[in-house]
Amino acid sequence: MKTPLRLLSTLCLSAFLVACSSSPSTTVGQLPSTKYDDLDKLLLQASKKSDSQAVGLYLSAADLAWQQKQSLRAREILEGIDLSQATPAQMIFAKTLEAEMAVARKQANSALKALSHASFAHLGEMPLNQQARTQLVRAQALQDSGKPLAAARERIFIAPMLEGQAASDNHQKVWELLSALPRTQLKDTGETDLDGWLALVRITKASSSLEQQQANIKQWVEQNPQHPASKQLPEALQQLQQLQAKNIKTLALLLPSQDPNQNVVTALRNGFFAAHYIAQSSGQATPVIKVYDSSTIANMDAFYTQAVADGVELVVGPWEKPLVRQLASRSQLPITTLALNYADSHQHGPQQLFQYGLAAEDEARLAADRAWADGMRRAAALVPQNAWGDRILAAFTEYWTSLGGELIAAKHLDRPAELAGQIADLFQLRDSEQRAKQLEQTLETKVAAQPTRRQDIDFIFLAASPQQARQIKPTLAFQYAGDVPIYATSAINPGPGEVYPELNGLQFSEMPWFIEANDATRQHITYNWPQALGSMGRFYAMGADAYQLASQLQQLRALPNSSAAGLTGILKINPEQRVERTLYWTQFSNGKIEQLREAQVD
């Protein structure tokens, strides 16, 4: 049974209340010594002992090999120990070491299982260095298994046990974990230190100017003088406070007036100006916006000449991919430019060019991260038979394999009539049916055999339209694969008003626009343009985020690990100066989108 986090916290706190005793009680035994330096000599000594003495020496040997980075030997020694004779202290040591090895192998769930052993009820009786070691690996395992809030809570609790570089690293980790949370998970918890951290994160996620953020951080520090983050601001916030705000006075919005997808362009423009007007009404310093028409532009030189003459300091646009490719092929640009699309993947572009769009590749990476955190290792993929499907499959495959995962098989979806056959092929059901027929022929009698699917597929990565998705789930069930988890992209979302019962329970990534109904910018946009409640809302959200990015580009560029919380996702700039989005993880529940939170750790 998993040891409750609150129980661990209570037990560890008791250690402080008994004068931080450095010796375990006699009822739990002694921890193995970590002061040896000769592994072979230690193993020889262990071989001459018996019972708990031998266990202690072998555990010391396993730990020594681990500290010497002999991971395979350390694991062999640990797995060869008969722990039936181990004292509670030795078992805590052994299971902590086992968890550290599991985390190193990217097996977070195995680490958490090791740390759930009943012996950890005695963790509060251990010396503080052992308590800290156990809880540090537990925090890392929680993080790796997709539970950042639980990991941060663990690190906040153990912070008083740490000193020096370990304390500093832990402090920074708390910030990184909490600042990566979506805004919907930043509500107060009733835990003083954690709530202080969350309040500080909320400040940095507000869509305000650099000057306003700096003022808000200063005010938070003055109001929370005893909070750990007040005594030592996270590194990113220290750097943020040192930036000199440079308010843009004139901004160019470069979009076409005539385009085959003019409804998308109109949504982008309306979202952009909505964010501008909201910033004005809240008293923020806002730039003058000059609108330029890209419909007639064949070469960007004439546009930049005019923009420079007009005093433009930042360009938002163009949207057309050919123009973005043209900019990416240049060595430099006369004005910093935030393009609203992406050039080809091999084009990195000049240092003045930033690229932002609703890239499906972001969702492929998110699905891979989620599946990996859930302990999946072997994937199958279903994507459309088109260029978009090829692109997202390539992105998923590259990222999934970089994590250490394996892509077992992939199918390209085309005609609905072929879907059942494609899924049967994917799970090798026809091979199973053929084996049954061969058995019948051999026995010359009917065999009551149910087809069985291949068992080496842990999950399916799905990128498909809502219509395709509503066919896929029932087909999987019919083809004896209804129990295989599906991790999908937002392409399966039919939008508000469309209820597909077949999609209930299906997990997919989605932007905050469809989750944060109370967001002021979203409410303003949907009030003025009700059509934004549907699928076009994605582009209204992108326009609003483009305005936010324009105001925060300075800090995002200066602080590589910083991010902005937008309506299209948590936005970061990668080394190629492309904006990458982290989305929420959601599922359909009775026709509505429900955000999936990290698993609760009691």
CA 572 to chain centre: 12
What the chain holds in terms of domains, given with CATH numbers, is: 5-145 (1.25.40.10), 184-234 (no CATH), 250-357+519-571 (3.40.50.2300), 361-517+587-595 (3.40.50.2300)
The answer to whether residue 438 scores a pLDDT higher than 80 is: no
For strand 507-510 and strand 486-488, is the pairing parallel, antiparallel, or unpaired? parallel
How many other β-carbons are positioned within 10 Å of the β-carbon of residue 84? 6
For residue 173, CA distances in Å to 143, 188, 426, 461 come to 10, 20, 41, 30
Mean pLDDT confidence for 304-322: 96
Average pLDDT over residues 70-90: 94
State yes or no: pLDDT of 242 exceeds 60: yes
Pairing of strands 579-582, 592-595: unpaired
Q: How confident is the model at residue 291 (pLDDT cuts 50, 70, 90)?
A: very high
Q: What is the pLDDT of residue 446?
A: 57
Q: Identify whether 318 is preceded by a cis peptide bond (ω within 30 of 0).
A: yes
**Percent of the chain topping pLDDT 70:** 89
**Three-state SS sequence of 489-546:** CHHHCCCCCCCCHHHECCEEEECHHHCCCCCHHHHHHHHHCHHHHCCCHHHHHHHHHH
CA-CA distance, 506 to 486, in Å (whole number)? 7
Tell which wins on pLDDT, 430 or 17.
Answer: 430
So what's the pLDDT on residue 598? 63
pLDDT tops 60 at residue 26: no
Q: Is the pLDDT of residue 444 over 70?
A: no
Residue 299 confidence class, pLDDT cut points 50, 70, 90: confident
> Which distant-in-sequence residues (6+ apart) come within 8 Å of 113 by Cβ?
none
Give which of 585, 143, 115, 105 is closest to 377, Cα–Cα: 105
* Integer Cα distance of 535 and 363 in angstroms: 17
Give per-residue pLDDT as tens, 97-135.
999 999 999 899 999 999 999 999 999 999 999 999 999
Q: Is the pLDDT of residue 601 over 90?
A: no
For range 205-211, the mean pLDDT: 75
**CA dist 447 → 427, 429, 442 (Å):** 21, 16, 11
Residue range 363-412, pLDDT digits in tens? 999 999 999 988 899 999 999 999 999 999 999 999 999 999 999 989 99
Sequence length of the chain is 602
Q: Calculate mean pLDDT across residues 138-159.
A: 94
Neighbours of 38 (CB within 10 A): 11
What are 126's two structure tokens? 């251990």
Assess whether pLDDT exceeds 80 at residue 448: no
Asked if residue 514 has pLDDT above 80, the reply is yes
Q: What is the mean pLDDT of residues 424-447?
A: 54
Is 314's pLDDT higher than 70? yes
Residue 379: burial class (beta carbons within 10 Å; 0-12, 13-18, 19+): buried
Mean pLDDT score of the chain, rounded to an integer? Answer: 86
Provide the residue type at 279 as one letter: A
pTM of the model: 0.79
Burial class for 211, CB neighbours closer than 10 Å (0-12, 13-18, 19+) = middle
